Structures are given as C-alpha cells and as structure tokens.
Amino acid sequence: MKIGVIGPGAIGCLFGALFSRAGHEVWVLDHRPERAQLLDRQGILGHDPNGQDWRAQVRATAEAVRIGPVPLALLCVKSAAVAEAVAAARPMLGNKTLVVALQNGLGHHPVLDAALPFWALGITSQGANISGPGHLIRGGQGPTLLGFLAPAPDWAWARLTETVAMLSQAGLPAELSPDIRAAAWNKLIVNAGINALTALENCPNGELLKRPAALALMTEATQEAARVARQSGVSINADPLAMTMAVCRATAANRSSMLQDVRSGRPTEVEAINGEVVRRGQELGIATPANELLLARVLALRA
Ligand code: KPL
C-alpha cells in the first residue's frame, strides 16, 4: 500500500520504517525541506534494543503535492502542530484517504473534527526515540489500539481493519479497540503521570519509580486524571496508578517524548496532557492541583 507518514518524529519514523520493511511504499511528509531531502537519500536508520542496526528506505518530501492522494495517512506530529500539518497534507488526502491520528493527549481532537469529515484514533504504547534526523532508537514494545471516536463510513472501517493487520504483519502488534475513548483516556492518564515528571526530573521512565517525591506526584496526577475521566463517563482502567507504574517498568529505559522535547528545545505536549486534565477538571468542578503544578513547572522550563 502507498502510505503517507506526516511528521518524521520518533513515532513517524518507527511506523514508516516498519511499514517500509514490510514492503509498503512509504512517503514521509516533513515541513523541513532539508531534512526531507536527507531522509529521502538516507532512509531511516534504526537501532533495536537487542543491539541490531538496520536501514529502511522511504521517500520524503516537504511538498504533499509530490505524494498525491494515499489510501492511508498516519498523522504523527505533536498535538500542537496538528492543524498546520493537516493543512500542509491536504494534497495527500483524497476522498478515500483514512487518516489515523497518533498524538498523545486529547486537546487536538476538536481540531481534527473541524478539519476532517472523520478520522481514526491510534493509541500506541511503542517506545521510540530519535537521536538525529531519521535516526530511530527503538524502546519498549507495546500494543497499538485503533478505533473511531465518531461514526465512520464502511470503507473506512474496512481500511482500519486492514491497517490493523498490516501493522501486526510489520511487527507493530495492533488491535481494533472496542472502546477507543477509554483507551485514549487510559493513555492520557499514563502520560499525565509520566511525561511531565520525566521532563522535570530529567530521567528515563523507570527511574521515576525509584524517586519517592516523583512517585507521590505521579500518584496524585494519575488519580486526578482518573477522577476527571470517570466523571466524564469513561470506563477507564480500575487501577490507574498500577497501570502507569506498569508502563514505567515496561518502558524503563525510554526517555519520554516530553523529556526528548525539552532536551531538544521543542514545544512540549504538556498543555494537551496535564493541561487537558486541568481544563476538563475545571469544567467538571474537580480539583487538579498536581496536574496544575506539573503544567506550570514544565511551561516554566521554556520561559
Ligand atoms: O507515551 C509515552 C511518551 O513518551 O510519550 C510513554 C508511554 C510515556 C513512553 O515513553
């Protein structure tokens, strides 16, 4: 299949490279033309946790018109860049293009609703880091859940089912989720408990479990996020803290996406993660002091 990957960050490189290695024609859309040229020449250079190095050939460009309409487009930019990325990707989005959005957080969902007639949500627990343009370091492996938050046409369901099979064949275990809203909230809770703390503590995910003050804040932040989710009518995991600690262990060596963003001087997703818990908490009259603190502290890192 001809697959468009919008954004060559860690998740974009991971999914693009594995699809390419499985025999698909992968096109990466990158808003930076020099980096696109480099990726087009060099491909994606991967490093597996078992020490194995590999290379995956992809095509890359900064002009979506060169790619043209694709049956499947993976939107892999950060949540704050979603509106701009969808606008730039328009020439790739035909009448029968399925867009799968793979961002952390929930804040960009209304942006996608306004920009597209429908879109699928992907919630992935794959760990991946980027050490330079197109240089991918794989971390902990986890499932990718896919589904629609709103009604979608039959052909889009069929394409999503095909995508699940293609991902699994490519080495990225995937499933259709019976409740993708709950999956999105479970991931938001995990991200609210891990990402900002790793950015503030400047440590890999597993290290948080060894730091009592960080663990205490993780406990508060996940419980607040869980309260907001339950009050919103979402059937989240029964033990959100245990779920978050399990992800810390499974991705112990991984540097969270927010830590990577802070280290590289990029804007973080803290507003789409902890900020979203705070915003929804305010709407519901639920106090969220731990998330407020994490939000303020991470924003202050860039001030
Ligand atoms: O989603 C992640 C992220 O870094 O954004 C986790 C699950 C925390 C893995 O690092």
- The CATH code of the domain that includes 229 is 1.10.1040.10
Give the pLDDT of residue 63: 98
CA distance 291 to 228: 11
Q: Which residues of the chain have pLDDT under 50?
A: none
CA distance 27 to 128: 19
Give the pLDDT of residue 274: 97
Q: Which residues, 6+ apart, have CB-to-CB distance to 91 below 8 Å? A: 63, 64, 65, 67, 68, 69
pLDDT tens per residue, range 252-261: 888 899 999 9
User: Cα of 225 to ligand 1 centre, how many Å?
Assistant: 16
CA of residue 58 relative to chain centroid, distance: 20
> What residue ranges in the chain does DSSP mark as E strands?
2-6, 25-29, 44-47, 53-56, 59-61, 72-75, 98-101, 120-124, 128-132, 135-138, 144-148, 174-176
Whether residues 151 and 194 share a domain: the answer is no
Give the pLDDT of residue 49: 87
What are phi and psi for residue 22, nearest 5 degrees?
-85, 5
Is the full-model pTM beyond 0.95?
Answer: no
Query: For atom 2 of ligand 1, which residue has the closest CA?
Result: 256
Whether residues 196 and 123 share a domain: the answer is no
Query: Is residue 195 in contact with ligand 1, taking CB distance under 6 Å?
Result: yes
Closest ligand 1 atom to Cα of 254: 10
Whether residues 197 and 151 share a domain: the answer is no
Residue for token digits 């293009």?
Answer: 97
Give the pLDDT of residue 293: 98
Whether residues 292 and 210 share a domain: the answer is yes
- Domain termination site, one of 125, 159, 178: 178
Give the pLDDT of residue 62: 98
User: Cα of 247 to ligand 1 centre, how many Å?
Assistant: 8
* Number of domains making up the chain: 2
- Domain termination site, one of 150, 178, 206: 178
Give the pLDDT of residue 140: 75
What are phi and psi for residue 154, nearest 5 degrees?
-55, -40
User: Cα of 69 to ligand 1 centre, how many Å?
Assistant: 31
The domain in which residue 268 lies consists of 181-300
Query: Is residue 257 in contact with ligand 1, taking CB distance under 6 Å?
Result: yes
Whether residues 200 and 172 share a domain: the answer is no
- Domain termination site, one of 144, 178, 212: 178
User: Cα of 65 to ligand 1 centre, how many Å?
Assistant: 32
Whether residues 244 and 124 share a domain: the answer is no
Whether residues 156 and 219 share a domain: the answer is no
Whether residues 259 and 140 share a domain: the answer is no
- The CATH code of the domain that includes 134 is 3.40.50.720
